Amino acid sequence: MMIRNVFALSFLLFIGISIAIAYPPEEVKAHNALVYSVAFSPDGKTLATAGFDNSVKLWDYATGKEIRTISGHTGPVYAVAFSKDGKTLYSSSLDTTIKAWNTADGKMTQELKGHTGIVDGFAISPDGKTLASCSSDKSVKLWNLADGKELKTLGSHANSVYSVAFSPDGKTLASASADMTIKIWDIASQKETKSLKGPTAAITGVAFTDNNSLVSIGQDRFVRIWNAQAGTETKKMGPTPDDLYGLALSKDIKSLATSGYGGNVAIWNLADGKASFNKKLKLFGAYCVAFSPDEKFLITGHDSSFLLITPIK
């Protein structure tokens, strides 16, 4: 009987450990101020967060434990993203800089200077050689990551630029602005080719789904799909319950996750334009969203300085 009970206890402990590994904590106190951006490493093991406490943090996603706090920015951090090999983490800030960090030791390896306002967002080209950035100074810039030097200021919007995204082939860049337009830029000629109009409020995020199609979100509470070459809107989804700030594409590019200021998250089927998942979270200010590596959870960063890990059910 004792042997049987020991076996049962061992089995329960094994199951408990498995559950702990498979299902991360529901809530993590991440920063001392709001969490504005999250990004996973290419291997899915590490989560990076950007905080308005001027810091960047690295987390072990499976356990929810902090690996490292990276300090060096002198203002709130607005965006984070890993390099393709996961060895470098990039971050941008209100301090007008973009910094590169060695993920192994947290030391700064590069600093890109040139903007005169908040660097709201950035994107790394598919080949990993170029970084595009956007700012409250209204400009869109290209940088050479080999030496950290500015290649060109592509142009500007009439207001703050919140998001940039490369097409999968790296030939096209899209920029989204508070001026309610999306500009399409040809990387080879470094010129604007289209200006997409239709939203009635600031556009807060943009991402390509293929070399010609892109999605956008904004404060008019709609998700929109665009034909970049034609410069036309092909589909509109919503309205959502609150202003949209976060977007993330699934690995197969068939679904889009969105998060909003009121704490609502949704997953949209891009083919039929319908929401397959909706949930009102317990925390407001969901400024960013990401799919977990296994796409069973949504990770959101909040006004309250917390991360929420929400099962997709």
- What digits encode the pLDDT tens for the residues 257-266? 999 999 999 9
Q: How confident is the model at residue 241 (pLDDT cuts 50, 70, 90)?
A: very high
State how far Cα 72 lies from the chain centre: 21
Rounded to whole angstroms, what are the CA distances from 26 to 49, 86, 109, 148, 306? Answer: 16, 25, 33, 38, 10
Region at 275 (left for phi over 0; alpha for psi -120 to 50; beta for the rest): beta
Percent over 90 (pLDDT), the chain: 90
Model confidence, pTM? 0.91
Tokens of 251: 């690995």
Q: Kindly give, in sequence order, each residue whose CB lies less than 8 Å from that of residue 72, ignoring residues fewer than 6 positions away.
A: 99, 101, 108
Mean pLDDT over residues 226-249, rounded?
Answer: 97
Q: Which residues are CB-contacts of 273 (< 8 A; sequence separation ≥ 6)? A: 225, 235, 236, 237
Q: Which of 287, 278, 235 is nearest to 259 (CA)?
A: 287
Cis peptide before 25 (omega within 30 of 0): no
Nearest to 268 by CA among 200, 215, 203: 215
With 0-12 / 13-18 / 19 or more C-beta atoms within 10 angstroms meaning exposed / middle / buried, residue 79 is: buried
Distance (Å, whole) CA 181 – CA 234: 15
pLDDT value, residue 313: 86
Whether the CB-CB separation of 279 and 242 falls below 8 Å is answered with no
Given its phi and psi angles, is residue 64 left (phi above 0), alpha (psi -120 to 50 degrees) or beta? left
The amino acid that residue 313 corresponds to is K
For the chain, percent helix, then strand, then coil, each to nearest 5? Answer: 5, 55, 40
State the Cα–Cα distance between residues 258 and 55, nearest whole angstrom.
24
Task: Tell me the pLDDT tens digit for each residue of 10-62.
Answer: 333 333 433 334 456 699 999 999 999 999 999 999 999 999 999 999 999 99
Could you tell me the pLDDT band of residue 1, with boundaries at 50, 70 and 90? very low
Going 244 to 250 to 254 to 255, the CA torsion angle's sign is negative
CA 41 distance to own-chain centroid: 12
- Predicted local confidence at residue 15, as pLDDT: 35
Rounded to whole angstroms, the Cα distance separating 49 from 69 reads 10
Residue 159 has a CB neighbour count (10 Å cut-off) of 14
- Closest Cα partner for 184 from 150, 160, 208? 208
Using only C-alpha atoms, the chain has a radius of gyration, in whole angstroms, of 20
pLDDT (mean) for 134-149: 98
pLDDT of residue 18: 36
Contact of 184 with 227, CB cutoff 8 Å: no
Give yes or no for a contact between 256 and 223, defined as CB atoms under 8 angstroms apart.
yes
CB 287 within 8 A of CB 279: no
User: Within the chain, where are the H helices?
Assistant: 2-22
Residue 55 confidence (pLDDT): 98
pLDDT at 8: 35
SS3 assignment, position 16: helix
Average per-residue pLDDT for the chain: 93
* Number of neighbouring beta carbons within 10 Å of residue 21: 10
Instruction: Measure the CA–CA gap between 190 and 220, rounded to whole angstroms.
Output: 30
Q: What is the pLDDT of residues 58-114, one digit of tens each?
A: 999 998 999 999 999 999 999 999 999 999 999 999 999 999 999 999 999 999 999
